[in-house]
Structure 1
């Protein structure tokens, strides 16, 4: 159910309207969502670094924060220094993050990201070859902890492996709640395990999981929903997304069937990316009765204020997730309210390094204004005006 303010008090942007979705037991102050983005700010064992708490707390004015992808178990680790939610150290590290976000009035979901075929022995704590639905490698080369390498041919998952992967997600989801997260998002998009089961070229199986490409996703979502409650669970999907060599010749029948099966569960939300070849938002919105988060920047330029407003106005989504614009503008809702151009560039040199630089050092509008004032006062003519004004007082 949407909270609608009186017309005279309506915000200038639909993105700033409050929202209280029926299945999600949270009241959101706006419809702006921080999209999940891998940033490699974890220790080698997968524990998030202290600076991660600063990053998410800075962005706590979003309606909802979704973390970067977190591996549920080292069996699903896709890259070096990507965080996990397997151990007590991981839980403690994420608890520092959720406490920092909640202290600023924010709401945060943990995204669980099992790599499936994604990964390399040189970047995995287990040092083993990753496993996926079928023995189909990802396109290379891959970035590994000590350089680049050709991708390995993944091991085809057995049915026992599939059951274990589902159990790993359930355990990690429970760990997420122990760490203080408001909920969990399953990463079923962008070439990771669940997407690999849904896609044509990465699922060549002849068993039940190949004959029905939605089966793994349905079993996984149902198991996690049973464990933590459907109202605490979101799902991200990217129908037809070709990243990392994924191929889906006709996504519509697969994803329509998946949503028809999952909609009755009453999940917290569906997080859906659009596609140039398949307009997933327009096609699937009528099949989803709960909250829907749209991501319209995948494989395009950063999402603008105007694009977000058009998406809401078109009725294909209830909320809009922002990635790159939120990286460089920690106060994104305030900037959208001020119609800021969102033009701060990304520090590409430090995007995937491991410290605060290029991560938590982007200024807010207030900090920019204060810096400009200080710089003006430091100029000879500016300093003279300041002294003159002081003398007049």
Structure 2
């Protein structure tokens, strides 16, 4: 079963608003086993909208259309749908009652323009909106079942989950398939390298669809599996996931679509361990990420941004001799920073960063992108040195933070 998504409105067409609705709808349709073959966007132009609806009606089984159901003159979707189907717009009394109830329930005055929202194409079925004033509607044009819903995101999401997806499942009947989606998150491997490592997957698992998504600084591998037997699908998904992990190896940090910091949090909580962080080049980003996770007070004890050498000495206890001999950006300095943070907080683990984020400050010996990480553990302290390929400060800070968290994750796993 094939579906298309049509987003309407000049604000979407012009880029004034980002169309997040289509992404959400596509995801939910895929999960329902409906393959989305096109995303289309048109402005508030009657002729273009009518012709687009006619085109969709001859090639898709389902179409979801968002936007243009409001009370103003530029809300023309219902009229365009009627013209595309060759029917009249008629007042739907049930839709009008729904709108009137919305205003009455909120003790607001309903204007005459809102009555326009109850004008539906003849023979269409109302989709009630319990979160806003604009009802949607459903009817068929040629081979395609159209669902028209508002563009306001929270209204759209509620109507999609409560009414539209169940209706589509019902229309599919015995043709209904299920879609399983697995997201494998990786760090430290490029999209092209991941693609090369997994190039033979279709020959091993011909029933799978695979996609790659760059979500800086991660590369996500998405696996899609369609079928009707959930037990068989689960087995195939497990087999394919195991195959991918063998190919990509330790570059994988999550098979549950979790962020790096969420995976670290799971490990800290599971082990009932605590963490203290000392940051220089990352400027508090690691601490921000770790404390973004609900329940972080269970494991996060201390954060210090020791940008100057003086603060490294006075607060963290880094030896002046170490700084004079090696400099701030050095594995030994990072080790002493991590030890200081761990000691100050009484934490199980200490994590530190010191580096050159750029765009200036680099030398031949320590170019922009140089990062030193320290990890202090109950059994000892380790220092690491890496080089990022980026010369943009904002990108390096993100990569630095991810690298530090990834090293901590691996330490916790070991």
TM normalised by structure 1 equals 0.26
Structure ranking higher on relative contact order (CA contacts 8 Å, 6+ apart): 1
Which structure carries more strand by proportion?
2
The normalised TM-score by structure 2 is 0.25
- Larger Rg belongs to: 2
